Amino acid sequence: MEFRKLPTVLTAEELIDKIFRRASKVTGRSSKERALNKLATISNVTKDYFKKISQTHPSYEELPEFYKEMVDIVVGIPEIKKSLGALKWAESMVQRVISKGVREIRSGKDEQAVLKSVYGRVASIIEQIDKDLRFLNEAKQKLQEIPSLGDYPTVVVAGYPNVGKSSFVAAVSTAKPDIASYPFTTKKLSVGFLEMDGRRVQIIDTPGLLDRPISKRNEIEKRAIVALKYLADVVIFIIDPTEEAYSIEKQLSLLDEIKKSFEKPVIDVYSKADLHNFRDRPAFSALTGEGIEDILKEIKKHLKIE
């Protein structure tokens, strides 16, 4: 699925401008012919524009579950459908106004008067869907945050905020996620790749999760949940035992919750090994590189790449 190909959507004002600018360039041998040609242009430009927008949206019901749920989280499938429906409505209204204008000109009505009235009515129809056009443009921007995934063995990295998930993903893969010293830095899923014995594996960095029920989770946390639910072949659960931001107890409770909810293999590891001496589970440091090889081996075992 490629949401990056969705086109920018013009506002009503921009679209009206575009349509009438195109119509203004139209010529004809007589005033009547010119007027008819203008109407044909308005009809075509509008039709093509709406078609371009609708056709680039996928059929949402048929998307694989991961994408369907992501679209619902980031924008809402019913809302997108409603706005696409509004475009369809506008399109048929515009065509009706044009047909009427064509009939009137052919039956001898003053073409300038007809044109003026058609312009007014077309503009008013498009203004009525301004909200929908703006919504679709915002939706395009948000949908672009949904990563395109390949059909590769997949590692999902999860844990509390600020524990070093993004630093791990950056250390082992091609991904360049945001890393910062404050919690909730990562707000969307990002995908990187690594080679394991010549095989491609994808690794997904997720936003930090707090230990709380799903019904209390916000839109950003839900992205992590969806990745765990649909994408993970194996989960790397990162625990920061320095307790700088969150207690080990809370982190372990989240680990438990994840193990119970998703029934996926989970490898739980300590991060920031350069700052502490806990070694009752694998420990790594993204800073010094200590322990990273061992964790990659562990992943390989779980993905049965050997």
Task: Name the site residues for ligand GTP (rule: CB under 6 A).
Answer: 161-167, 179-181, 183-186, 207-208, 271-272, 274-275, 285-287
Sorted by sequence, the CB contacts under 8 Å of residue 169 that are 6+ apart come out as 157, 175, 177, 190, 192, 203, 204, 205
Q: Tell the smallest beta-carbon distance from residue 277 to ligand GTP (Å).
A: 14
Binding residues for Mg ion, rule CB under 5 A, total 4
> Whose Cβ is closer to ligand GTP: residue 131's or residue 176's?
176
Q: Pick from ligand GTP, Mg ion, none: which does 271 bind, CB < 5 to 8 A by kind? A: ligand GTP
Contact 164, 272 (CB under 8 A): yes
Q: Determine, following the binding rule CB under 5 A, whether residue 206 of this chain makes contact with Mg ion.
A: no
Q: Determine, following the binding rule CB under 5 A, whether residue 166 of this chain makes contact with Mg ion.
A: yes
Contact 179, 261 (CB under 8 A): no
Burial of 304 (0-12, 13-18, 19+ CB in 10 A): exposed
Q: Pick from ligand GTP, Mg ion, none: which does 41 bind, CB < 5 to 8 A by kind? A: none
Q: Which stretch binds Mg ion (CB under 5 A): 21-29, 146-154, 157-165, 220-228?
A: 157-165
Q: Tell the smallest beta-carbon distance from residue 96 to ligand GTP (Å).
A: 52
Instruction: Tell which residue, 220, 244, 93, has the closest CA to residue 145.
Output: 220
Q: Which residue is nearest to ligand GTP (CB)?
A: 208
Which region holds residue 227: left if phi is over 0, alpha if psi is between -120 and 50, else beta? alpha
Q: Pick from ligand GTP, Mg ion, none: which does 38 bind, CB < 5 to 8 A by kind? A: none
Instruction: Tell which residue, 203, 220, 187, has the closest CA to residue 152.
Output: 203
Q: Which stretch binds Mg ion (CB under 5 A): 36-44, 124-132, 148-156, 163-171?
A: 163-171
Element counts in the chain: helices (H) and strands (E):
10, 5
> Whose Cβ is closer to ligand GTP: residue 146's or residue 292's?
292
Q: Determine, following the binding rule CB under 5 A, whether residue 41 of this chain makes contact with Mg ion.
A: no
Where does this chain bind Mg ion (CB under 5 A)?
A: 165-166, 185-186
